[in-house]
Amino acid sequence: MDKVNKINTDFLISREKNIYEVIIGLEVHAQVTSNSKLFSSSSAKFGAEPNTQVSLVDAAFPGMLPVINEFCVKQAIKTGIGLKAQINKRSVFDRKNYFYADLPQGYQISQFKHPIVGEGTVVLDMPNGQKEVGIERLHLEQDAGKSIHDIDPQHTMVDLNRSGVALMEIVSKPDLRSPDEVNVYIKKLRSIMRYLGTCDGNMQEGSLRADVNVSVRIKGTDKLGTRCEIKNVNSIKFMQMAINYEANRQVDLIEEGKSIAQETRLFDTKKNETRSMRSKEDAHDYRYFPDPDLLPLEVSDDFVEKIKSEIPELPDEKKKRFIEKFKLSPYEATILVSDIETSKYFEEVVENSDVKLATNWITGELFAVLNSKNLEISESPISSKNLSKLINLIKDGTISGKIAKTIFELMMDSDKDPQKIVEEKGLKQESDPKALEALIDKVIVDNPDKVKEYKSGKEKLFGFFVGQAMKDSNGKANPQLLNDILKKKL
Amino acid sequence: MTEITSQSLTELIKNIKEKKISSEEITKSFVVRSEKSKSLNSYITEDFSSALKKAKIFDAKPNFDLKLPGIPIAVKDLFCTNGLKTTAGSKILNNFVPTYESTVTQNIWNEGAILLGKLNCDEFAMGSSNETSFFGNVQNPIDKDLVPGGSSGGSASALAANLTPITIGTDTGGSIRQPASFTGTVGLKPTYGSCSRYGIVAFASSLDQAGPMSKNVKDCALLQEVISTYDIKDSTSIDFKRKNYFKELTKNIKGKKIGIPKEYRVDGMPNIIEELWTNGIEYAKNCGAEIVDISLPHTGYALPAYYIVAPAEASSNLARYDGVKYGFRSKGENLIDMYEKTRSEGFGDEVQRRIMIGTYVLSSGYYDAYYLKAQKVRKLIKNDFDEAYKKVDAILTPSTPSSAFKIGEKTNDPVSMYLNDIFTVPVNLSGLPAISIPAGVDAKGYPLGLQIIGKAFDEQNILNIAYAMEEKINFKNKITDWWIK
């Protein structure tokens, strides 16, 4: 097996004489969050019965004409602003012509020469620092329908619900260098679009998929190698596996003195390999030309300015603010802003409680619970209000951290007010020095031998006394106070 | 009273409003005459019994405030009609019944008109003689075995033969004006964006435009007023202030400047056309218009540019006819085989020829040399008109380079067939309005038309000029009813 070195975030492939680096560019297809389709009024909702969300336009009936959905245009511009990209005031819809059973018009309406969004940037937070990835463009296009081959052995079934749904194709520059960067890039894109409400980023439902362009070159050289495009990969894990396989395949070819053919490949998730789909020679001639049914799309400055005014605080800005305002570490801030719902939850909690404790409880206990139950933070069994109460109970000494964990467990069942749990279960921390002295006196009296040993130098036994006193208090003794008093007494 | 079917639209409306005749009587007359005229093959689909029912309903509760009260109308079979088969003259749509109505026809029904049936046309409007229709040739009522022109051949034939009082056609490169010229009738191609394309089977989207066809200019103005509306369902529909073309129609064109483009005097143009044009200039002068010589220097490139742009768009527009969703489907071994068989059996030769031309000119490596260049030429042609309209209000030309020809005469020579459109295509490429009015006959007595081209959105002006000249020309169509035994 070939050795794969990991130097920083670079993904290098070493062979006897050469070390190769991998050049990756992504074409991400993100479904626009919108009630209706790009050029028709039918619903764009996922999961409906087949062919129940199909208008005459979507099914390309004779004489039917596309009419642009203004909301989708807004969403694309919003996303463009989120990618710090150039917004093109004039863009053109073209027809991409090809025949397929799930493409009713015989062409896909897409933007070829004049996309709505031009160059932009996405910042990745890598373990060893930040990295900028260039965005080449973002354009709007229609999705095709879905061909289903496994219902009937003789026939292919076609579901047109997806036909005409608006997609944003976000094309990166070939700036990515490793599967790890691809992972962070996709997550960052998804995070930005979720903040903006322009794409839900749900990969299971196909709202986010990508074509992955991979090439390799000897590290230190400038010239890009011949690339292969791996079509339609629908999970980050598969993207990473496909890149790993494909990069090694290309390196093998070069090492054997063979050349790499520019082609489109498919990733077989079962066999974990990429396979040739069609060569450059067999590539479709899409015969792009401006769609004569649609005039060029022109947006005014006011239109764009209005959208700009609606842009919420985005992850990068939020992270900066969190670091400054809450004194979080960059690592903590990155985690807390990665998802807009998490950041909202965090801000709700810290509004009324301690930041340090809130950060630890959210990234620790709460994330662990959500992960184990496979829940989104918006579905959290514990509300931000009650978590902040719990933190306040710790902070003011009403309960110990240990008791807090017990209460946290109890809160999960019914999102119960922690104050009430404390009262009902009598879990309030014992912080009365007199009561604690009584406890300690009892422990001292009961264990004269141990006291003797301790006094003769066996200081390790201190823990024993603490444990005994704690046990006698049913775990409710204030540990700090207990320590202090015990030291004095001994 | 004149025979009902010989009456013009405006006469019929007057008579129906004065309760001299009922919608049922009118409808029955056109149905009876249409029944006797089957040999013209003007209709693809008749809807006579339904029309008679609708006429009775109208008579029971007539609304004379409508613009077309109880008037029966047959329309080109390129307009989708809800519940009635719409074929576009093609085998591939031979079984297609729309569940929706085109905006243009809906506008007509909204004004009280009644659908008589669907009229024959060249397949997907691709042709200049109605010979490419899957449903066979259409006879020109002017003479036996004479083409009615195309692609709105069935419309022109039915209109000239008095099978419908008015009709609508579509004009992509001359498909209203040329058949109007060949049949001694009036045809208007409105400004691009004037009439909605929603529900019209597309041929070439950037050129297609529906328009009225009638027996006189007055009827034409009225029908244009009805069909031209802004429509949000067509993104290329234009929201401009439409005039009351009928109400504002006037013969006073005194002082209007009419341009005569020298480039339309093409090589090999028959003397009779030259003569027609010269006479037309005299008529215009007699109406008080001022004649101005103008130049439209890029005219010669219009036809080649058109035969690149139109097939390019058509090749893409017709991709949807693949046997998957509706229409004709041939059995195939697999998807590709099914496509190939469906489309080679479902489309006729001319349609296939244009799909191939269109596919070729859009192919990578040829796009710049053909499609892009043709679009540049198109811009130059439009610029020519813009320049000319700084000096003149309208332009007068012949409608066609010849009168109607015999069926079969040009079927084996597509280029000679395409030359029919030489005077009409520059107008489509520029998106301008133009009207053809009958203005004379050739040696055989076959009608010839003159074309008046206007500025964009200036339909009123060319209708007025046509209206004034129509009176001076005083053309009478000679229809002998030779086909009725």
Can you give the pLDDT at residue A430? 75
Residue type, A240: Q
Average pLDDT, chain A: 92
User: Which of A61, A65, A106 lies nearest to residue B233, judging by beta carbons?
Assistant: A65
Can you give the pLDDT at residue A487? 82
Q: Is B92 helix (H, G, I), strand (E, B) or coil?
A: helix
Contacts of A4 (CB under 8 A, 6+ apart): A11, A12, A13, A14, A244
Residue B335 domain flag? no
Residue A5: pLDDT over 50: no
As given in the structure block, the two tokens for residue B367 are 């796009």
Instruction: Enumerate the H helices of A168-299 as residue ranges.
Output: 179-196, 236-255
* Distance in Å, alpha carbon of A62 to nearest chain B alpha carbon: 5
Residue A4: pLDDT over 90: no
As a whole number of Å, the end-to-end CA separation of chain A is 64
Q: Which residue has the tokens 């070159």?
A: A217
Q: Which residues of B touch A (CB under 8 A)?
A: 80, 86, 88, 93, 96, 98-100, 102, 197-202, 204-206, 232-236, 312-313, 315-316, 318-320, 322, 324-326, 335-336, 339, 359, 362-364, 367, 371
Instruction: Enumerate the H helices of B207-287 as residue ranges.
Output: 217-227, 271-286
Residue B312 domain flag? no
Name the domain count of chain B.
1
Residue B102 domain flag? yes
Which residue in A has a C-alpha nearest to residue B320's C-alpha? A105
Which of B236, B317, B331 is best to mutate for the A interface (most A CBs within 10 A)? B317
Residue B240 domain flag? yes
- Does A292 sit within 8 Å of B98, measured CB to CB? no
Give the residue numbers spanning the domain of B271. Answer: 11-297+383-473
Q: Which residues of A touch B364 (CB under 8 A)?
A: 285, 287
Angle of helix A479-489 relative to helix A462-472, nearest 10 degrees? 130
Cβ contact A250:A232 at 8 Å:
no
* Complex ipTM more than 0.85, yes or no: yes
* Distance in Å, alpha carbon of B457 to nearest chain A alpha carbon: 18
Q: Rounded to whole angstroms, how far apart are CA atoms B356 and B374?
A: 17
- Does A67 sit within 8 Å of B98, measured CB to CB? no
- Does A292 sit within 8 Å of B232, measured CB to CB? no
Whether a cis peptide bond, with omega within 30° of 0, leads into B90 is: no
User: Which of B233, B335, B364 lies nearest to residue A101, judging by beta carbons?
Assistant: B335
User: Which of A65, A100, A285 lies nearest to residue B197, judging by beta carbons?
Assistant: A65
Residue B409 domain flag? yes
- Does A289 sit within 8 Å of B202, measured CB to CB? no
- Does A289 sit within 8 Å of B367, measured CB to CB? yes
Q: A396 pLDDT band (50/70/90 cuts)?
A: confident
Alpha-carbon separation of residue B175 from A340, B79, B274, B428 (angstroms): 59, 14, 22, 10
CB-neighbour burial class of residue A472 (10 A; exposed 0-12, middle 13-18, buried 19+): middle
* Distance in Å, alpha carbon of A101 to nearest chain B alpha carbon: 7
Q: Rounded to whole angstroms, how far apart are CA atoms A233 and A139?
A: 19
Q: Is B192 helix (H, G, I), strand (E, B) or coil?
A: coil
Q: What is the CATH number of domain A433-489?
A: 1.10.10.410
Please calculate the CA angle A145-B92-B85 and round it to the nearest 5 degrees. Answer: 95
Can you give the pLDDT at residue A20? 96
User: Which of A67, A68, A105 lies nearest to residue B320, judging by beta carbons?
Assistant: A105
Q: Which residues of A touch B318 (CB under 8 A)?
A: 106
Which of B235, B341, B344, B367 is best to mutate for the A interface (most A CBs within 10 A)? B235
Q: Rounded to whole angstroms, how far apart are CA atoms A93 and A295?
A: 8
Q: What is the pLDDT of residues A308-331, one digit of tens each?
A: 999 999 999 999 999 999 999 999
User: Which of B98, B233, B325 lies nearest to residue A60, judging by beta carbons?
Assistant: B325
Question: What proportion of chain A, given as a percentage, has pLDDT over 90?
Answer: 73
As given in the structure block, the two tokens for residue A182 are 């691809």
Q: Which residues of B touch A295 (CB under 8 A)?
A: 235-236
- Does A156 sit within 8 Å of B235, measured CB to CB? no
Q: Which residues of A touch B75 (CB under 8 A)?
A: none
Can you give the pLDDT at residue A212? 98
User: Which of B199, B324, B326 lies nearest to residue A63, judging by beta carbons?
Assistant: B199
Q: What is the pLDDT of residues A193-208, one digit of tens each?
A: 999 999 999 999 999 9
* Distance in Å, alpha carbon of A74 to nearest chain B alpha carbon: 18
Q: Which residues of A touch B320 (CB under 8 A)?
A: 60, 62, 104-106
Q: What is the pLDDT of residues A255-277, one digit of tens each?
A: 999 999 999 999 999 999 999 98
Q: Which residues of A touch B (CB under 8 A)?
A: 56, 59-68, 95, 97, 99-101, 104-107, 156, 158, 285, 287-289, 291-295
Active site residues of B: 76, 151, 175
Q: Which residues of A touch B87 (CB under 8 A)?
A: none
Q: Rounded to whole angstroms, how far apart are CA atoms B160 and A87?
A: 56
A vs B, Cβ pairs < 8 A, gives 98
Which residue in B has a C-alpha nearest to residue A104's C-alpha? B320
Contacts of A277 (CB under 8 A, 6+ apart): A231, A263, A264, A265, A266
Question: How much of chain B is in helix, strand and coil states, percent to nearest 5?
Answer: 40, 15, 45
Average pLDDT, consecutive stretches of 10 residues, N- to C-terminus, chain B (485 residues): 91 97 98 98 98 98 98 98 98 98 98 98 97 98 97 98 98 98 98 98 98 98 98 97 97 97 90 96 97 97 97 98 97 95 98 98 95 98 98 98 94 85 97 98 97 98 98 96 92
Can you give the pLDDT at residue A9? 56
Contacts of A256 (CB under 8 A, 6+ apart): none
- Does A295 sit within 8 Å of B235, measured CB to CB? yes
Rounded to an integer, the average pLDDT of A69-79 is 98
**Residue B104: enclosing H or E segment and its boundaries?**
helix B103-110
Q: A479 pLDDT band (50/70/90 cuts)?
A: confident
- Does A59 sit within 8 Å of B232, measured CB to CB? no
Please calculate the CA angle B98-B100-B103 and round it to the nearest 5 degrees. Answer: 125
Q: Rounded to whole angstroms, how far apart are CA atoms B440 and B473?
A: 8
Which residue in B has a C-alpha nearest to residue A102's C-alpha? B324
Contacts of B39 (CB under 8 A, 6+ apart): B139, B483
Q: A2 pLDDT band (50/70/90 cuts)?
A: very low
Q: Where in chain A are the domains?
A: 4-307, 313-425, 433-489
Can you give the pLDDT at residue A3? 40
As given in the structure block, the two tokens for residue B409 are 């005469």
Residue A461: pLDDT over 90: no
Please calculate the CA angle A48-A54-A55 and round it to the nearest 5 degrees. Answer: 150
- Does A62 sit within 8 Å of B93, measured CB to CB? yes
- Does B316 sit within 8 Å of A62, measured CB to CB? no
Q: Rounded to whole angstroms, how far apart are CA atoms A272 and A270?
A: 6
Q: Rounded to whole angstroms, how far apart are CA atoms B48 and B349?
A: 32
CATH of the domain at B267: 3.90.1300.10
- Does A56 sit within 8 Å of B320, measured CB to CB? no
Which of B78, B86, B192, B320 is best to mutate for the A interface (most A CBs within 10 A)? B320
* Distance in Å, alpha carbon of B374 to nearest chain A alpha carbon: 13
Residue A1: pLDDT over 70: no
* Distance in Å, alpha carbon of B123 to nearest chain A alpha carbon: 14
- Does B236 sit within 8 Å of A107, measured CB to CB? no
User: Which of B319, B320, B324 lies nearest to residue A101, judging by beta carbons?
Assistant: B324
User: Which of B86, B199, B235 lies nearest to residue A68, judging by beta carbons?
Assistant: B235
Can you give the pLDDT at residue B1? 63
